[in-house]
Amino acid sequence: MPAIEDFLADATRRMDKSIESTRQEFNSVRTGRASPALLDRVQVDYYGTPTPLKNLASISAPEPRLLNVQPFDPNSVKAIEKAIQESDLGLQPSNDGKLIRLPIPQLTEERRKELVKLVRRYAEDGKVAIRNVRRDVMRHLEELVRNGEVGDDEERRAENQVQKLTDEHTKTIDELLKHKEAEIMEV
């Protein structure tokens, strides 16, 4: 039935989005290494408008423990510096008027454990999103059966496919989590 295939295609697309979203959350968590993705969530008050930092500056990692933020507008250096200090990253910026340098300190054991808890929460949020997609699709399949559009056998086959999709996507998030935890705990 085309309706079932549409639901499965939609479920796959939405589950893939959940994985991508989880991956982005993971990238914004600080490990011992400098990564421009760390600053993805930083919003700068640019002339009264909250603006993503990556829209106001080029961000590079010239060394494993250093990020450089080069504002496109030199007048925004102070605002960018303030936004970084007020973020939850715990970084201390220094600037020479043109370029902001962000040394990435070594993580303490305690901070590593906090970050592991944080990425586990992100992973769980991703899995919940995937299970919500499964629930929606199951509900639609039951509606199709109630309306007489598909038979019980087709519904069961589709439910098995949805469960398989759910399991695959959940496993992907577990693998991403395992890699991120290893990255955080690496000294």
CATH number of the domain at 160, please: 1.10.132.20
Q: How many domains does the chain have?
A: 2
Same domain flag for 135 and 170: yes
Same domain flag for 112 and 167: yes
Higher pLDDT, residue 40 or 17: 17
Q: How confident is residue 2, by pLDDT bands cut at 50, 70 and 90?
A: low
Domain stop point among 56, 72, 103: 103
**CA dist 52 → 18, 60, 83, 125, 161 (Å):** 22, 16, 10, 23, 39
Q: How confident is residue 187, by pLDDT bands cut at 50, 70 and 90?
A: low
Contact yes or no for 177/119 (Cβ under 8 A): yes
Domain stop point among 59, 84, 103: 103
Same domain flag for 112 and 21: yes
pLDDT at residue 127 greater than cutoff 90: yes
Predicted TM-score (pTM) of the model is: 0.71
The string of pLDDT tens digits covering residues 30-84 is: 676 778 888 888 899 888 889 998 899 999 988 888 899 999 998 888 899 989 8
Range of the domain at 16: 2-27+108-185
The string of pLDDT tens digits covering residues 144-164 is: 888 888 888 888 999 999 999
Same domain flag for 114 and 179: yes
Distance CA(82)–CA(150), nearest Å, equals 59
Predicted pLDDT of residue 68: 92
Q: Which CATH number goes with the domain that contains 44?
A: 3.30.1360.40
Average pLDDT rounded to a whole number, residues 120-145: 93
Distance CA(60)–CA(53), nearest Å, equals 13
Average pLDDT rounded to a whole number, residues 129-140: 94
